[in-house]
Amino acid sequence: MILAFPLIWMLSVSLKPTVETFSLPPKLIPSSIYFDGYIKILNNDQYRRFLLNSYLLGLVVTGLSVLIGTLAAYGFSRYKFFGDRIAKLFVITTQMVPTITLLIPLFGVIVWLKLYDTMWGLILTYLTFFLPYAVIMMNGYLDTIPKDFDEAATIDRLYSYRCFV
């Protein structure tokens, strides 16, 4: 209940009129429910555009992180190649570096690529930080799947990309 209280309080305050919000003593349950704030903000075209951009950004970054991270993790998990340990170490090391250290060089790259103030620049920025985590997590999961399944699929004449699917 202690952890849920801030969320309950935010919901309560959002449904109160302004006068009742600042009244003393504060009340958790409003005397009357007002949806005026929600109606006002949902009728604001600029807010709706911001909300749509946020959802679109979240969907694209999540989708690309899962897709690229899963493909990279599958390669790390199933194939042994020259430099695979160094590549895994590089992915893990990127998670050890403080985020703030990478922001200035990343900003320079975004400006150099002429992606400043674009959705693709923001997507690239988020992928920079989320993709290594996706690779690490998916690699851990794919390592738990026995390689016997891949061998059985190979006997059934399935290529590696079909084994992946």
Q: Is the pLDDT of residue 137 over 70?
A: yes
Domain-wise residue ranges, the chain? 5-42, 45-164
Q: What is the mean pLDDT of residues 75-90?
A: 86
SS3 91: helix
* Residue-level pLDDT at 161: 66
Mean pLDDT of the chain: 88
pTM passes above 0.75: yes
Contacts of 164 (CB under 8 A, 6+ apart): 71, 74
CATH 1.10.357.10 fits 45-164, yes or no: no
